[in-house]
Amino acid sequence: MMDKVDRILIDEQKLMNRIEELGKQITEDYQGKELVIISILKGAVIFASDLVKAIKLPLVMDFMAVSSYGSSTKSSGVVRILKDLDEEIEGRDVLIVEDIVDTGLTLNYLVENLLSRKPASLKICCCLDKPSRRLVPVKVDYIGFSIPDEFVIGYGLDYAEKYRNLPFIGVLSKDVYKK
């Protein structure tokens, strides 16, 4: 797999250090509250798993699966909910945990959908943010790292369902997808 990685953008130790910082900040911000963490499948599950260990509060985890990429390297803009929540979120404090915010189209759709369910609060935490690619404004409350416009893999992020298990964030070699 390493032969498909152009370079390591964020190594495992840097990821873990930043996640600890995010966990502390979220713990402070939600002190005295019970949080509903919504991890967006499949990409955010590894990040969410590490993040919840760093949050020192009572919390509930739930999952949604949405798709706008398919096997492409670019968002199609068409969002499909593949798996909806099991938990009711009305009147509850909700934190969406996402792997990467790119165009903002998927997250914007998701936020509108979840706000219609009347949570007490709704915030967003992402591992990676690509602000240069934003097509719609999305307020991300907690950002692990802002990154340049490159196709990244690892730590939950995939290309055609592969490379999620890399313990770092790497840039995918262009020869993999430029055929």
Which residues have a catalytic role annotated?
A: 102
Residue 137 buriedness (CB in 10 A; 0-12 / 13-18 / 19+): exposed
E strand intervals along the chain: 5-10, 35-41, 59-67, 80-83, 93-101, 121-129, 142-146, 152-153, 169-172
Alpha-carbon distances of 125 from 70, 72, 99, 165, rounded to whole Å: 23, 24, 9, 21
| 169 DSSP 8-state letter | E
